[in-house]
Amino acid sequence: MFKRRDRLPVWQTVLHALWPRGGWKRAALYVKHRLRRLPDTPRKISRGIMAGVFTTFTPFYGLHFVVAALVAFILRGNIMAALLGTFFGNPLTYVPIGVVSLNLGHWMLGTEIRGEVDENIFGKFLRAGEDFFWNAWYALRGIPVDWTATQIFWNDIFFPWLVGGLIPGIFTGIAAYTVSLPLIEAYQRRRRGALKKKLDEIRRKAAARAAEKAAAKGAKGEKPGQGAS
């Protein structure tokens, strides 16, 4: 029902993923607007943002929404804010996040990645995905499976990324919480003040109309000659 009638070409789909139609500035403004208008306390919203930002430093690509919602639930944060917070991870930030997390993870584990980090991340992700696909097909047909690419992906990418992403993820998440909390508190105070002012204005106008109607009824209720001495 909600699918496009004219499907976009693959190159346009990729282009929109790398650069939204309205630009990243408009996308960021949209996320900020949605975060501000969430019906929850500033602390719960900020904890949700922290959960979403932290999740972008994990290697669970394709499951970031699920992981962010789970982390927000554990932290008692706003789940919708956590989902919006995952927009911190985008095609412009994934490569530096991956490079930092992988290098830090291998350093912490005392291991080394084979080849250049930024040249191997996506290739090893792809080959591990191919492993899962073809091995599932081979298993159904009774053909022996080979998990070499998956093992390389686990040792070189996934586990080091998971370990190395914890520290920058926690620090960046705390920074996001620290920045967003006073901003959301100020916005909600200003919005409450604006709503109160608008409500007072509506009440004032309603009272004025009621007084006018009462005066009109009183004038119509006077008999001719009434009030003459």
* pTM of the predicted model over 0.85: no
Q: Which amino acid is at 157?
A: I
- What's the rounded Cα separation, in Å, for the pair 145 and 179? 49
| pLDDT of res. 134 | 79
| pLDDT of res. 94 | 85
pLDDT in tens, 140-198: 777 887 888 788 888 888 999 999 999 999 999 999 999 999 988 888 888 878 878 88
Angle, alpha carbons 25-184-61 (nearest 5°): 55
**Tokens 């943002």 — which residue?**
49
Using an 8 Å Cβ cutoff, are 86 and 31 in contact?
no
Higher pLDDT, 55 or 35: 55
Parse the chain into domains and list their residue ranges. 10-192
- What's the rounded Cα separation, in Å, for the pair 6 and 13? 12
- Give residue 76's region: left, alpha or beta (phi > 0; psi -120 to 50): left
- What's the rounded Cα separation, in Å, for the pair 155 and 169? 20
Q: What is the mean pLDDT of the chain?
A: 79
Confidence of residue 4 (pLDDT cuts 50, 70, 90): very low
| pLDDT of res. 119 | 53
Nearest of 160, 177, 149 to residue 53 by alpha carbon: 177
**Rounded mean pLDDT of 4-12?**
49
**Rounded mean pLDDT of 65-76?**
94
Nearest of 122, 208, 217 to residue 161 by alpha carbon: 122
Half-sphere exposure of 228 (CA within 13 A, CB side): 4
Higher pLDDT, 29 or 142: 142
**What is the per-residue burial (b if ≥16 Cβ within 10 Å, else e) of 71-91?**
bbeebebbbbbbbbbbbbbbe
Higher pLDDT, 51 or 155: 51
| pLDDT of res. 159 | 93
* Residue 2 clears pLDDT 70, i.e. is over it: no
| pLDDT of res. 113 | 74
H-state helical runs in the chain:
10-18, 23-36, 42-55, 64-75, 79-85, 94-109, 117-140, 148-153, 159-164, 166-220
pLDDT in tens, 82-119: 988 998 888 788 889 988 999 999 999 998 876 655 45
User: Per the structure block, which two tokens stand in for 217?
Assistant: 């009824």
